[in-house]
Amino acid sequence: MKIHQLISYLQQICPLSLKEDYDNVGLLIGDTQKEIIGILTALELNDAVIEEAKKLNCNVIITHHPIIFRPLKKITLQTYNERMVYRCIQENIVVYAMHTNFDNIFSGTNYLLAQQFNLTHLKPLRRLKDYYRVLVTFVPTQEVSKVRKALSQAGAGIIGNYTECSYNVQGYGTFRPNKQSNPYSGIKEQLNQEVEVRLEMRFPYYLEAQIIRALLGSHPYETPVYHIFSDSATQELYDGAGIIGNLPTSYNVQDFLKMVKHVLKIPFLRYTNTEKKKIQKIALCGGAGSFLLPDAIQNNVDAFITADITYHTFFDVPDSLMLIDGGHYETEQFVAEGIAGYIEKEFSSIPVHTSSVYTNPISYF
């Protein structure tokens, strides 16, 4: 199988457009026309991970943290990033990153972390705004199935376990073509009527460009009419930042902290005291998630576990919430294995390995 086939699958389960604006995700290094020999997933790249890939005969490395984040102006081996890029090119290794787009899909970073805590009743801590949009267009009756099919193939009309979902109601449209026009039907410079179907289909916002392309490519009119509305009422919104869930039982504060240390395999936790006696409803955000503190407060969770929390952020925490810094590496350590699992499930014949290199640059004393 070619590398680009793997990439199209990865982009299907984890669209690039779900990344945060500042991020750099997707294919970072390499030639995707080559055959896949083996895949290694890792939280990030370092020399040991590249050695591991070579030893395991892997020519594709998928990481969470992108090795090219800010633009590189030179590759002179002076910095860690430059050295890693240089080595991967030299070793013919393709590098692909699934970072904030993997944080923002429901089955991504935070879902994998939530599984470690056996959380139930999961929902995103902050939903992506107006995730769905609705396309409304008007198509002559005899052409509607063709347009509906094209829109379906572009990703419109998927609701839960159902595909090609659409709403259709017949009416008629009027139009007066001018001299320069090239109408599909009707007579120029006269008022015409055409029996049309009002076709409505829902789609996730990141598919908008390809949905419009599919519409314009399949619609018979010279200038098709269409409207796009945001569907903010739809409740089926699972993608978003962070995650909320319930622990299987409630914990007293001491036992909860012990359990968190155990799950995250971290020797120390930084946290704020809480007035609550029992902890059960918690929020998680692997990596730097301080920006979600207002959402954790609003959702009235007992504890919020994230990382990279600054001293002053701890002052913003109400007495009813325990804020925990669980370490950046520690809260994201399950990502590599999770990505490997998604690939193995889809392509059982390709060798997929999870890196066993401990890449955390931070030590504890």
Q: Interface with Zn ion by CB under 5 A: which residues?
A: 287, 332
Of 295 and 332, nearer to Zn ion (C-beta) is: 332
- What is the bridge-based pairing of β-strands 192-204 and 132-140? antiparallel
- Nearest residue to Zn ion by CB is 287
> What is the smallest separation between the CB atom of 332 and Zn ion, expressed in angstroms?
5
Of 18 and 156, nearer to Zn ion (C-beta) is: 18
Of 239 and 332, nearer to Zn ion (C-beta) is: 332
Of 37 and 288, nearer to Zn ion (C-beta) is: 288
> What is the smallest separation between the CB atom of 160 and Zn ion, expressed in angstroms?
31
For 102, the token pair is 């993997």
Of 274 and 331, nearer to Zn ion (C-beta) is: 331
| Residue 173 CA from chain centroid, whole number | 40
For 250, the token pair is 């409630």
> What is the smallest separation between the CB atom of 64 and Zn ion, expressed in angstroms?
6
Other CB atoms within 10 Å distance of the CB of residue 111? 21
- For the beta sheet containing 132-140, the strands, ordered from the edge strand earlier in sequence to the opposite edge, are 167-175, 192-204, 132-140, 226-230
Of 64 and 353, nearer to Zn ion (C-beta) is: 64
* Distant-in-sequence, close-in-space partners of 32: CB < 8 Å, separation ≥ 6: 2, 3, 4, 7, 94
> What is the smallest separation between the CB atom of 7 and Zn ion, expressed in angstroms?
21
Residue pair 200/165 in contact (Cβ under 8 Å)? The answer is no
Question: CA 286 to CA 66: how far, in whole Å?
Answer: 16
> What is the smallest separation between the CB atom of 82 and Zn ion, expressed in angstroms?
21
Q: How far is CA 312 from CA 142, 284, 290, 327, 343, in A?
A: 64, 20, 11, 17, 40
> What is the smallest separation between the CB atom of 24 and Zn ion, expressed in angstroms?
13
